[in-house]
Amino acid sequence: MNLFNVYPLYDIEPVRAQGSYLWDKTGTQYLDLYGGHAVISVGHCHPYYVEKVTQQLNQIGFYSNSVRIPIQDELARKLGELSGCEDYALFLCNSGAEANENALKVASFFNGRKKVIAFKKSFHGRTAGAVAVTDNPAIVAPINFNEHVSFLPFNDVAALEAAMNEEVCAIIVEGIQGVGGINVASDEFLQAARRLCDQTGACLILDGVQCGYGRSGRFFSHEFSGIQPDLITTAKGMGNGFPIGGVLIAPRFHARHGMLGTTFGGNHLACAAAVAVLDIMKAENLMENAARMGAYLTENLTQIGLRGCGGIKELRGRGLMIGIELDQPVDKVRDTLLFEHHIFCGYAGKNTLRLLPSLAIGRAEAARFLEAFSAVMSVHA
Ligand SMILES: Cc1ncc(COP(=O)(O)O)c(C=O)c1O
């Protein structure tokens, strides 16, 4: 049997990883400034993480949500503490798309409505509901197309005000758009979304799948705007590579048995991985590190841009979610960084280099990237 060929591949086969580094089968070392789409939060193969997951696997790896699984409560308690969302309740699932799917369901069950407002350049996942609120017709199959969804311009308060009414079930928005190009939602925009939801009885869903879990320098990037969403979704960095997602659900939503459900969500092993991530984030002050290293990278990238050898059009993002918009297509720069300097970076759209390193990245690694980037841009600018 062959694999269903949906992924364009780099001809690189990583066989080992540690911290911010990967090694391929020929022994070549790569610096990882991408974490496989923002997934590696505390660093590859962190010893505490490996120990916790191994211990759990040796005890019990899985049983279904029909029995008591106390490590789920430990995860919810620690997540509440570190995120400051103690009064929210947690529903556990397996991915970012599933988290958004369930958040949309909770909203619709709650107010009985079905219209959703999403935004241009949004990405919320590939399952039926999540892809219907994703602004990319190429990945929306006819069966997923949903006439209840409107896509408004991002960060446009007037357009949002004009579109909101008592028929709207939910607004779904990324605190920082990731796939769409690292676009930060403005404070004014998120505050307007909160106010309009309150006025019309709609629910505010903040998709923190990529920008959450400490990446922005705060636990959730919407904290900068001082708003409290009704539903917050997470995944990616939550398990540092072990598949897990979650919906944080505000106290005004009441659970009933059977309302949501999943076979794998919240299993012992996934929870052990997620608890280990939170323990490490707390013990190693990784949110502070994300803010500090994000500032270091951004300041130095600004300098590179100012020196005029950069070809940098705009820098966007917060903390360790950085978009470098170039004045040219990004593919040559990305490939030179990867194949000549052995540095993994991502991209968003045609012209934007996307950096999503581990929250534990050190100054030496950041400096290595800056030096390589500067060299590459002086050739390609
Ligand atoms: C903001 C956002 N939401 C949802 C998703 C979907 O997550 P998953 O691929 O885990 O389903 C992604 C994935 O890139 C994302 O960036």
Q: Report d(CA 222, CA 217) in Å as an integer.
A: 11
Overall average pLDDT of the 196-208 stretch? 98
Residue 306: which pLDDT band, with cuts at 50, 70 and 90?
A: confident
Which pLDDT tens digit goes with each residue over 232-286? 999 999 999 999 999 999 999 999 999 999 999 999 999 999 999 999 999 999 9
Asked if residue 309 has pLDDT above 90, the reply is no
Residue 104 Cβ < 6 Å to ligand 1 = no
pLDDT value for 16? 98
Rounded to the nearest angstrom, the distance between the alpha carbon of 139 and the centre of ligand 1 is: 13
Asked if residue 308 has pLDDT above 90, the reply is no
Q: Measured between alpha carbons, how far apart are the two ends of the chain, in Å?
A: 45
Of 7-11, 30-34, 240-244, 306-310, the poorest mean pLDDT is in 306-310
Identify the residue whose tokens are 């390589």. Answer: 372
Label residues 21-55 b or e (16+ Cβ within 10 Å = b): bbebeeeeebbbbbbbebbbbbbbebeebeebbee
pLDDT value for 75? 98
pLDDT value for 271? 98
Which pLDDT tens digit goes with each residue over 31-64? 999 999 999 999 999 999 999 999 999 999 999 9
Overall average pLDDT of the 352-363 stretch? 98
* Cα–chain center distance at 293: 18
Asked if residue 129 has pLDDT above 90, the reply is yes
Overall average pLDDT of the 159-166 stretch? 98
Overall average pLDDT of the 284-309 stretch? 92
Question: Ligand 1 pocket test: which of 124, 206, 231 has the largest number of ligand atoms within 8 Å of its C-beta?
Answer: 124
* Side chain identity at residue 169, one-letter code: C
CA distance to 171, 206, 270, 293, 379, per residue, from 174 (Å): 10, 6, 24, 22, 35
Q: Can you name the residues that pair with 249 across neighbouring β-strands?
A: 89, 231
Residue 233 Cβ < 6 Å to ligand 1 = no
CA-nearest of 119, 123, 115, 226 to 164 is 115
- Percent of the chain at pLDDT > 90 equals 97
Residue 95 Cβ < 6 Å to ligand 1 = yes
pLDDT value for 311? 85
Residue 179 Cβ < 6 Å to ligand 1 = yes
Residue 129 Cβ < 6 Å to ligand 1 = no
Asked if residue 130 has pLDDT above 80, the reply is yes
Q: Can you name the residues that pair with 346 across neighbouring β-strands?
A: 354
Q: Can you name the residues that pair with 231 across neighbouring β-strands?
A: 205, 249
Question: Ligand 1 pocket test: which of 206, 209, 262, 347 has the largest number of ligand atoms within 8 Å of its C-beta?
Answer: 209
pLDDT value for 310? 60
Residue 177 Cβ < 6 Å to ligand 1 = no
Residue-range domains of the chain with CATH: 14-46+285-380 (3.90.1150.10), 47-283 (3.40.640.10)
How does the average pLDDT of the chain come out, rounded? 97
Please answer whether residues 282 and 214 qualify as being in contact, where contact means their C-beta atoms are separated by less than 8 angstroms. no
Rounded to the nearest angstrom, the distance between the alpha carbon of 8 and the centre of ligand 1 is: 18
**Of all atoms in ligand 1, which is nearest to the CA of residue 95?**
10
Overall average pLDDT of the 168-173 stretch? 98
Asked if residue 128 has pLDDT above 80, the reply is yes
